[in-house]
Amino acid sequence: MSTLQIGLVLPDVLGTYGDDGNALVLRQRARMRGFDANIVRIHLGDPIPTSLDVYCLGGGEDTAQILAAEHINTDGGLHKAAAAGRPILAICAGLQVLGESFRADNRMVTGAGLIDATTGSLKKRFIGELQSTPHPNDGGITAGLTEPLTGFGNHFGSSILGSDAKPLGIVTHGVGNSDTEQPTYEGAVQGSIICTYMHGPVLARNPQLADLLLAWALDMPMSELQPLDLPVVDKLRRERLQR
């Protein structure tokens, strides 16, 4: 195939917590398998290309979220990419921005409406290690996930999923989408969109999730990706899961 195009959406406003690293992980894991890969940085005010192979959004503060939502809604490019089934990974504030609405600056703000979720506030801000087991989303984009998911949570948002969205995982440690619902779900999956509150970056800490997105972007089964022997990644993963 031609060069894999990885869209990094609004890193200037949704780049507070190092989530830009997810695009770097995708690029490196593609290159290590012999695929050409390039990161396309899309800044505030830039049009969002509709035909990139995969898109990544990160976290940010209230003002950044509002700016991001306004840009995404006005531009419309990410909506077209989602409608075409392009894989999209959204982290923390990215999850909130892609939802129906979210709370920021003490008011409810209209989101992109790409995820059936509404975000209010937790009783207490969560900061700490977060782990989950993949939710059995039969037939969905994450159906191939079998390994525990791990990341670092730092959020005050309480996201409630509607019927069109499914959770990414079921929390085994930490606080996920909400501190009121049982069982406690983490993240959201809808169509080709995967959202999570896990920083880390999440793809550095969860290589299976990285390869799932990569395989989707390359239009091939994950089982056909060449295995990578990366002891340092395995060590990091073991350390984080033991925490």
CATH of the domain at 137: 3.40.50.880
Report the DSSP beta bridge partners of residue 6: 39, 54
Q: What is the total count of domains within the chain? A: 1
Q: Active site residue: 92, 135, 155, 195, which one?
A: 92
Range of the domain at 196: 4-242
**What is the b/e burial string over 18-31, where b = at least 16 CB atoms within 10 angstroms of the residue's CB?**
ebbbbbbbbbbbbe
125 is in an annotated binding site: yes
Q: Look at residue 182 and tell me whether its pLDDT is greater than 80.
A: no
| 92 labelled catalytic | yes
Q: Which of 71, 135, 155, 199 is an active site residue?
A: 199
CA distance 85 to 186: 22
Neighbours of 36 (CB within 10 A): 12
For residues 18 and 88, which has the higher predicted lDDT (pLDDT)? 88
Task: Name the token pair of 198.
Answer: 């896990």
Cβ–Cβ under 8 Å, residues 69 and 109: yes
Q: What's the average model confidence in pLDDT over 154-162?
A: 93
Query: What pLDDT digit, counting tens, does each position of 118-150 carry?
Result: 999 998 999 999 999 999 887 789 999 999 999
pLDDT grade for 2, boundaries at 50, 70 and 90: confident
Mean pLDDT of 216-226: 95
Active site residue 56: no
- Would the pLDDT of 164 be above 70? yes
pLDDT classification of 1: cutoffs 50, 70, 90:
low
Q: Are 6 and 52 in contact (CB under 8 A)?
A: yes
**DSSP single-letter state for residue 215:** H
